[in-house]
Amino acid sequence: MPSFAVPACRSRRISWDAVRVIAVLSVVLGHITHQGPLSHGELGGYPVEVTAQYGAAALMVVSGFFICQTIRRGDLRRWLRGKIARLLPAYLVAVVVTYLVMRLASAAFNGQDFGGGWWNLLFGPTADGQAWVSTWYVPVGWDLLVNVFMIQGWHNGFIWLDGSYWTLPVQLMVFSCAALVFAGGPRLRGGRRGEAMAWAMIAGPLVLRFWIIGAHNPSPWAYAVINGLGLHRMHAFGAGIAIWLWSRDRMSGRRLVLVLAATVFAQDQHLYPDHVEVPGDPARLPSVIGFAVMLVTICAAAKGPDWTFLRPLAPAITWLAGISYGVYLLHQELGYLLAKALVEAGLGGWVRLPLVLAASIGLGWSLTMAVERPAYRRLSRRPPSPPAPRAPQDDFIPSPKGPGPVSVGGPS
């Protein structure tokens, strides 16, 4: 789940909105044109194929930057409550919607039914008891619970209803840990300590995964440690911390280059742990280059002047950035299902691509307007302040017979 909500400021910088739009669109296009046909062969034949995987990691770098930017403002508990209010309600609604559509559509594609009764229709297995008749998996009630409670990463037998959901538990865990760390006091906020934290988040998971646990350890506990705790994504947040320190002149440019180089290396290792066995992976080099370019772009947005050359496009960019979280949540699995329906309708890749992209944006806008923003406003609202004690003169009301005060409850 990535940084989708840049804090409002008096003069909104178009550069941050542009970074978010670029990152989210790269995720969406990669899933539509590459990951979709990879998971479901019949969805191939798009006019372009975006194989690079860097958008979600770039959004996490932005998230790490804005954690540092915003967490020191006001009350930590209110800051954390706002983050949860921004992410969780929209996620829960997206899970339920994806589950229902995925369940009914996949069963229809497979020619299956659920027997009688509303319970079987909503939560039970198919009548033939087969969930994997084809690549279109038919989820059951247990899969809904696993995704609602965000425990997919703790066991390799759990099903992700949507592959994009892996970001949510990682984000919430990092936000919670950040609140605990900053609650320790000002001594944890210095530049050197922040730089050490960034290096620990980059190097620590590498050492643990590849030297201590082993990259190909098949044990369930190894899977849980790496994926359940999101250790294979911590380097992105570490890079965000380093960029924030550099933008505040608390880290030199030379040391930042070292941190970012280590971040790119960590991204490559975690994303492609089998690169020794598969050196010719067509997505590996584009992913590395794309992520490196995004890091440089984020640095430019963090410390450079605003990108005023994009002002003519500012309304569209700001609008897309504002609904980017909803687009992220609903584009992947629902996009695959829509693409399958379009394939069965006989539409080619040139038609399917803009239709699926437009549907993803439309669904994201609907989720943003119907759930994300109303829930955030309601859940992050300040509790009403207790009434102030009345001053002594408040115990008097004007006398109807003259200007002098009359005591309430006692003689004048």
Lowest mean pLDDT among 7-16, 109-118, 175-184, 304-313: 7-16
Please tell me the number of Cα atoms within 13 Å of 379 on its side-chain side.
Answer: 19
Confidence of residue 102 (pLDDT cuts 50, 70, 90): very high
Whether 211 shows a pLDDT value over 80: the answer reads yes
Residue 60 vs residue 409, higher pLDDT? 60
> What are the Cα distances from residue 158, in Å, to 44, 164, 224, 270?
27, 15, 11, 20
| pLDDT tens per residue across span 311-332 | 999 999 999 999 999 999 999 9
* DSSP per-residue letters across 279-301: TT-TTHHHHHHHHHHHHHHHHHH
Whether 183 shows a pLDDT value over 90: the answer reads no
| pLDDT tens per residue across span 115-139 | 888 999 999 999 998 989 999 999 9
Whether 252 shows a pLDDT value over 60: the answer reads yes
Confidence of residue 185 (pLDDT cuts 50, 70, 90): low
Q: What is the pLDDT of residue 373?
A: 96
Confidence of residue 342 (pLDDT cuts 50, 70, 90): very high
Confidence of residue 406 (pLDDT cuts 50, 70, 90): very low
Average pLDDT, the chain: 87
Confidence of residue 385 (pLDDT cuts 50, 70, 90): low
Confidence of residue 281 (pLDDT cuts 50, 70, 90): low
Q: What is the pLDDT of residue 261?
A: 97
Which pairing describes strands 402-407 and 396-399: parallel, antiparallel, or unpaired? antiparallel
User: What residue ranges do the domains of the chain occupy?
Assistant: 14-382
Residue with tokens 């790119």: 264
* DSSP per-residue letters across 307-365: -GGGGGGHHHHHHHHHTHHHHHHHSHHHHHHHHHHHHHTT--HHHHHHHHHHHHHHHHH
In one letter, which amino acid is 226?
I
**Cα gap 303→248, rounded to integer Å:** 8
Of the chain, the percentage scoring pLDDT greater than 90 comes to 74
Whether 352 shows a pLDDT value over 90: the answer reads yes
Residue 409 vs residue 146, higher pLDDT? 146
pTM of the model as a whole: 0.87
| pLDDT tens per residue across span 187-200 | 445 568 889 999 99
Max mean pLDDT among 10-14, 278-282, 326-330, 407-411 falls in: 326-330
Query: Average pLDDT for residues 300-320, to the nearest whole number?
Result: 95
